[in-house]
Amino acid sequence: MIKRSESIHTFVAGYFEYLHELSKRLDTNAIAFFVMELEAASEKGSAVFFAGNGGSAAIASHMANDLGIGCRRAFRKPIRAVSLTDNNSTMTAVANDFGYENLFLEQLKTLYRPGDKLVVISASGNSANVLNAAKWVKEQGGTVIGLTGFDGGKLRSICDISIHVETSKGEYGPVEDIHMILDHLIYTWFKVKAGA
């Protein structure tokens, strides 16, 4: 838990110590399974879709860039990484016509193919648009990877692979920090492994 401090110096040290504690609690097996799913997507030419809201939308976009374009030379076949958070015209049309709760679902109904994967990023794990997308992909027989925080919410139990950052409710900053570290960790793993 983040602790209050009168000194910015003490707060900085405590914040970084907290991030270190959170990172040590991560399920490394879940991270390894996520990596294997990305490798399988590369080999089969499957798409990997990324979705989230707010700060998690930015992480979704960043991950799609890092694992798609950034890792291109690390794979014989690049990962077809697609962020569902980047097209303003599409997002506003879907939100207007189908409701914000279907923001990602309606895009997936157009883009998803058998064998594709969905990575959903949500600190609370309770955002309706993320849950609707995850449930639909599961109904199609697809793989859902979830990056969650707090208590994991409803999303944690839906996912095939759950990488959970257990924090107090409302600690968005530390959760999103760890999610970004996961992105850079996996990106760097692929680059180093390939000698790129």
Q: φ, ψ for residue 101 (rounded to 5)? A: -65, -15
| Dist CA 14 CA 19 (whole Å) | 9
Q: What is the pLDDT of residue 196?
A: 67
How would you write the pLDDT of the chain (196 residues) with one tens digit per residue?
888 888 999 999 999 999 999 999 999 999 999 999 999 999 999 999 999 999 999 999 999 999 999 888 778 788 999 999 999 999 999 999 999 999 999 999 999 999 999 999 999 999 999 999 999 999 999 999 999 999 999 999 999 999 999 999 999 999 999 999 999 999 999 999 888 6
Residue with tokens 């180093």: 192
**C-alpha distances in angstroms, 158 versus 87, 114, 128?**
26, 18, 13
27-194: CATH topology is Rossmann fold (3.40.50)
pTM of the model: 0.95
Q: Where are the domains of the chain?
A: 27-194
Distance CA 2, CA 105 (A): 35
